[in-house]
Chains A and B, each alone.
Chain A
Amino acid sequence: MIESIIYVFLAISITFNLLGSFSLHRFPDVYTRLHGATKCTTFGTIFAVLAVVVHAIWQIRETGDPKYLQMALHSVVALIALMLTNPTGAHAIAKAAHLSGYKPAKAVIDAYERKLRGERA
């Protein structure tokens, strides 16, 4: 029963990570690729960590070995660090790409470009 829950979490995690890598091939430019590559992987990682935590709690109840407590806590800390750094990094890459002149492909509107040219206050 608990094993099947873990497998479901892992399946969701792998599906989203796969979609994230797939988006690198599907999408046309750096901005749209960032969507897939950084965020599908974050969501995938949440479920990978959930699987680890469920496994660890299950093992603590079975064996009482403190190393599983460490395993669960460390993966949760890793998840929090990832959720804080991932959007920051994505923002930095996007801003750097725009400032160095990569225009969004197929864009219907580019308000940031207008702002940089000073057309809006």
Chain B
Amino acid sequence: MSFIVAFIWSFALWLVLTAGTNGMLWSLEELIAGIIFATIVGFSTRNIIGEKTQRFLNPIKWLGFIVYAVGPLFWGMAKANLDVAYRVVTGKIKPGIVRVPVDLENEAQYTILSNSITLTPGTLTVDACPEEKALYVHWIYVKEEEPKTSEPVAGSFEKWARRLGK
């Protein structure tokens, strides 16, 4: 199963990278080379991808990722970028590393949440500790020294991460 998932995704990436070799479509040589390379990638990564690989093929999940990326994530980045731009110009900073308790179940959810937190400027995940259900976040302007939820740091990201990482 993980071979099929890796094959499909590497072949899709190959198709994206080689579109336009025959008109707007693909030439036969590129398709054959893509199948060969996707087979090599799928065979060599079949033990790395791990369990629960079917979720990578779930179209609803991918739609969710796209909605998340152009909606809340981009909006959060825009707001936070303006905030950091203001801090760069004026020099008003109050940095600190805070402990943010989170309520997540698996590693994919931790990865999504901490990457989203790091992508929005002003917050930077220093470490994620799933065993104590907490993230350590460097915050450029500390508003709460000991937040009780992830809401002041990450807004609605925790809900999205919980849904997308299932």
A residues contacting B by CB (< 8 A) are: 16, 19, 22-23, 26-29, 31-32, 34-36, 39-40, 42-43, 46, 66-67, 69-70, 73-74, 77, 83-84, 86-88, 90-91, 94-95, 98, 104-113, 115, 120-121
Q: Are A88 and B115 in contact (CB under 8 A)?
A: yes
Report the bound CA distance from A88 to B157 in whole Å.
17
Chain A residues with Cβ under 8 A from B121's Cβ? Answer: 35-36, 39-40, 43
Chain A residues with Cβ under 8 A from B124's Cβ? Answer: 31, 34-35, 90-91, 94
What 5 new A-B contacts, CB under 8 Å, besides A39-B81, A109-B98? A28-B93, A36-B84, A111-B97, A112-B126, A112-B136
Q: Are B95 and A69 in contact (CB under 8 A)?
A: no
Residue ID in chain B nearest A111 by CB atoms? B99
B residues contacting A by CB (< 8 A) are: 13, 16-17, 19-21, 23-24, 74, 77-78, 81, 84-85, 88-89, 91, 93-99, 114-116, 118-122, 124-127, 129, 132, 136, 138, 140, 142, 145-146
Q: Are B118 and A91 in contact (CB under 8 A)?
A: yes
B125 to chain A, nearest CB (A): 5
A-B contacts, 5 listed (Cβ < 8 Å)? A35-B122, A36-B84, A94-B124, A94-B125, A105-B95
Report the bound CA distance from A70 to B16 in whole Å.
8
Chain A residues with Cβ under 8 A from B74's Cβ? Answer: 46
Closest 4 CB pairs of A and B: A87-B118, A66-B20, A39-B121, A111-B99
A29 to chain B, nearest CB (A): 8
A114 to chain B, nearest CB (A): 8
Q: Are A42 and B119 in contact (CB under 8 A)?
A: yes
